[in-house]
Structure 1
Amino acid sequence: MLEQPFFGRRLKQLRTERGLSQAALAGDGMSTGYLSRLESGARQPTARAVEYLAAQLGVKVAAFEEPGATDSLAQALAIATSDHSDDTIEALERSLSTGGAQDPMLRWQALWLVAQWRRGHNQHARERAHLEELVTVGDTLGLPALRARGFTQLARCLRACGEIALAVEAAGTAHQLARDNDLTVQDLAGSLLALVSAEAEAGRLSEARAHADELTELTGDRSDSLWAEARWTAAAVRVRQGDLEAAQSLLEQALDRFSSAEDLSLWTRLRVAAARLHLLKAPPELDAAEQYVEQAEAGLAFVGVPALEQEVLSLRADIAFRAGRFADARTLLDRVRGHDPHMTYRNRVRLDVLDSRLLIIEGEQQEGLRRMRALAEEAQAASNIDLAADIWRLLAETLAQAHGSAPSA
């Protein structure tokens, strides 16, 4: 039996998490007045109303149930830790939302698991909310390792959301905590990975280079995923500094020595990075980029990460565009846009930039120009100086290409 007022509070929480108004949730099957009374606790829900609302929200009826003694945070955490299924993590998330006194250490662990799960589903806004609370709980606990890990994950999430200035601040805090408290290599390297990436996107290249050098030295005697990510991150800084040969050398170390058996997702991402690097050459090395994309696609068959699948497909569209196959590029771009977006802020902007460039080539120059200017200004306002500079550069290249090319079939 679903009881008020818990049902009303839970219903409102689920609605607001999805950004829905009462009218949007009520739809054609319920009056907004009735929905309002359900949320306020003034009316007891009927079974039919509950089923309708669950369908509207895309959740199971169990999502409305109030946790009882058997659904305590400790028990939900134990179950989720041993079984990382969507259902158990969702149950853990519900336990976090019940309020009341909870052990802060258990709550920290639960927030960590739920945030990781949200990140895996590329739901960065909801991940961010959990991580911001996780940082607060970590400060309460006062344990340097937990504080550093919380700030590191928050920095990664903020970067994925396009909040670059905040990402630099969070990563800097994590790095300072790791160094001041002599934390493990894993903690220090994790903070540096987040810090270098955020600094580079903020255009703070001298600082990013210094921290990248610190990172590569720190991980130099390893051969695991941390070592590979360090080389990749250092390569990304060299790219932004315009030293593509040094970037290629660093990236090839990771490509040659890191095994897919270690981490297939990272192995695939390295090949996506290599393909992008070859596209930056002057002229673009399309054959090499194509070969790395094919390798990445082989990994995708086993990874099953929607965001990565969309990134590879958008990369194919970029290759088609640079090869002058504009109709193919448009078809591939439409395929990516035919699915719910799962990409990071940076990759979504890349997709929008390619769409705008195609508009310019296709003869809709003013609209394409307007969109690219808006994207560049948005990136600059978010302190993503590196991305903004890329957009302005691509805009100039596209205008030159439009004046010398006609769309090809």
Structure 2
Amino acid sequence: MLEQPVFGRRLRQLRTERGLTLAALAGEGMSTGYLSRLESGARQPTERAVAHLATQLGISPAELTQSTAASLAQSLTLATGLDQDEAGQTLSEALKASEGEDPLLRWQALWQVAEWRRQRQEYPEQRACLDELTELSTQIGLPELRARVLAELSRCMRNTGEIAGAVDAATHAYELAKSEALPARVQTATLLALVSALTEAGRLPDAARHTDELLTVTDKGSGPQWAQALWTVASIRVRQGDLDAAAELMDQALSGFDGRDDLTMWMRLRISAARLDLRTDPPKTESAQRRVEEVQGAMPFAGTPTVEQQLLAVRARIAVTTGRLDEARAVLDQLVGFDDLLPYQERIRLDVLRNRVLLLEGEQATALDGLRKLAEQAQQSGNMDLAAEIWRLVAESLAK
């Protein structure tokens, strides 16, 4: 016989799988109030109750009282030997039947599932995990857990275009990390979230004020977090118009980061460097193309859908910059259907690129109308940096 609350969870799982209400499962031989208390774990089941419920469910009493789900602790252990997709699925299923278990175990499982959802670009599902993680972190009472969750929540909200919320979450994470004197790795994570959110919100002076602090916290590093810090500060320098300083920071990250630590990060750095190459005057298209070829060579080993889409977008930009419009159009066509999976900023920038192609093809009225709508959409979402970027393109196009 399963002890409570495990029996209650097992019973509720079987009932919901069959789409039964409490009244339907209780039938004439049991009150819904008693059944509800069984499911909540407030009452221990009798043999008579088990027999009645098994009949109602169409299974044997042994099937009802034997748990088929591994505990959350077992699932976390099993997940260490699985690839990311298998681990994510295993933990996701375990979480559905693990209400009432140790909050720390649930936190660990949810954190891994949230990262799995992010990698799969399932942002609403990731957000649901992060919302529960926020509540669990408060319940557990460890400031480090709460700061880490808030920083990741900010990142998730930026991906869905919720810029004001992203700034709030990152600000709370940063203030918590500072007030509690949390470890450098946590302070770095919160700073990365804050600088990125402030930049997207168009608050460049506020973002720039944190860049020196970010570089100081990550000084003498060499891992993924260090490389991401340099990359983030480089993006600020680009927006400040200091492309030389941005290039220097990117070169430092590219040369100092060993791809064996994180091959996906190694590829994303080169994609970002290729974008920077295309922003110089004149654009360094040959350098950008070399970086694209480096990433393409690594794709079989650590390529993800996100990296593949970012790579295609850079290839389209190179084609536009070099005037190969047919090639640009073909590459952009490959990205059709991925838009719902891409982060908000990437989706908008792809649409901007499509309108740039229309401009170059002579469809000025259609392209300008599309760009205006994209700029207004970015403004309404609070993404002021992206909106300003699009309005500049509109102004330049009208001037020409």
Q: Give percent identity, aligned residues only.
A: 45
Larger Rg: 2
Q: Secondary structure at the match of 2:210?
A: helix
Q: Secondary structure at the match of 1:150?
A: helix
- Confirm or deny: 8 A CA contact 1:290 1:319 kept in the other structure: yes
Distance 1:354 1:399, change over 3 A: farther
Match of 1:387 in 2: 386
Q: Secondary structure at the match of 2:100?
A: coil
- Confirm or deny: 8 A CA contact 2:160 2:343 kept in the other structure: yes
Q: What's the CA shift string for 1:86-118, capped at 9, x where partnerless?
A: 344223212323464232111111110110111
- Could you tell me how far 1:399 is from its partner in structure 2? 4.9
Superposition TM-score, scaled by structure 2 size? 0.81
Say whether 1:224 aligns with 2:223: yes
* Counterpart residue identity of residue 141, structure 1: I
- Confirm or deny: 8 A CA contact 2:164 2:382 kept in the other structure: yes
Match of 1:263 in 2: 262
What runs of 5+ residues in structure 1 fail to find an aligned partner? Answer: 12-37, 45-64, 402-409
Q: Distance in 2 between matches of 1:339 and 1:382?
A: 21
- Could you tell me how far 1:273 is from its partner in structure 2? 1.0
Alignment of 1:68-107 (within 5 A): 68=67, 70-98=69-97, 100-107=99-106
- Confirm or deny: 8 A CA contact 1:231 1:251 kept in the other structure: yes
Q: Secondary structure at the match of 1:337?
A: coil
- Confirm or deny: 8 A CA contact 2:195 2:208 kept in the other structure: yes
* Counterpart residue identity of residue 275, structure 1: A
Match of 1:195 in 2: 194
- Could you tell me how far 1:285 is from its partner in structure 2? 2.2
Distance 1:68 1:359, change over 3 A: farther
- Confirm or deny: 8 A CA contact 2:84 2:116 kept in the other structure: no
* Counterpart residue identity of residue 171, structure 1: A
Alignment of 1:326-341 (within 5 A): 326-337=325-336
- Confirm or deny: 8 A CA contact 1:67 1:98 kept in the other structure: no
Q: Distance in 2 between matches of 1:155 and 1:381?
A: 18
- Confirm or deny: 8 A CA contact 2:320 2:328 kept in the other structure: yes
Match of 2:293 in 1: 294
Match of 1:253 in 2: 252
Superposition TM-score, scaled by structure 1 size? 0.79
- Confirm or deny: 8 A CA contact 1:193 1:215 kept in the other structure: yes
* Counterpart residue identity of residue 90, structure 1: Q
Single out whichever of 202-211 and 108-117 deviates more from structure 2: 202-211
- Confirm or deny: 8 A CA contact 2:72 2:98 kept in the other structure: no
Match of 2:174 in 1: 175
* Counterpart residue identity of residue 140, structure 2: L
- Could you tell me how far 1:310 is from its partner in structure 2? 1.0
* Counterpart residue identity of residue 199, structure 2: A
Match of 1:282 in 2: 281
- Confirm or deny: 8 A CA contact 2:277 2:284 kept in the other structure: yes
Distance 1:348 1:291, change over 3 A: same
Match of 2:128 in 1: 129
* Counterpart residue identity of residue 91, structure 2: L
Distance 1:43 1:223, change over 3 A: same
Distance 1:301 1:395, change over 3 A: farther
- Confirm or deny: 8 A CA contact 2:313 2:350 kept in the other structure: yes
Alignment of 1:1-400 (within 5 A): 6=13, 9=16, 38=19, 68=67, 70-98=69-97, 100-337=99-336, 342-399=341-398
What runs of 5+ residues in structure 2 fail to find an aligned partner? Answer: 1-9, 26-63
Single out whichever of 171-180 and 76-85 deviates more from structure 2: 76-85
- Could you tell me how far 1:144 is from its partner in structure 2? 0.8
Match of 1:48 in 2: none
- Could you tell me how far 1:10 is from its partner in structure 2? 5.1
Distance 1:251 1:341, change over 3 A: same
Q: Distance in 1 between matches of 2:223 and 2:357?
A: 40
* Counterpart residue identity of residue 112, structure 2: L
Q: What's the CA shift string for 1:54-112, capped at 9, x where partnerless?
A: xxxxxxxxxxx999354333322332244345344223212323464232111111110
* Counterpart residue identity of residue 250, structure 1: L
- Could you tell me how far 1:286 is from its partner in structure 2? 1.7
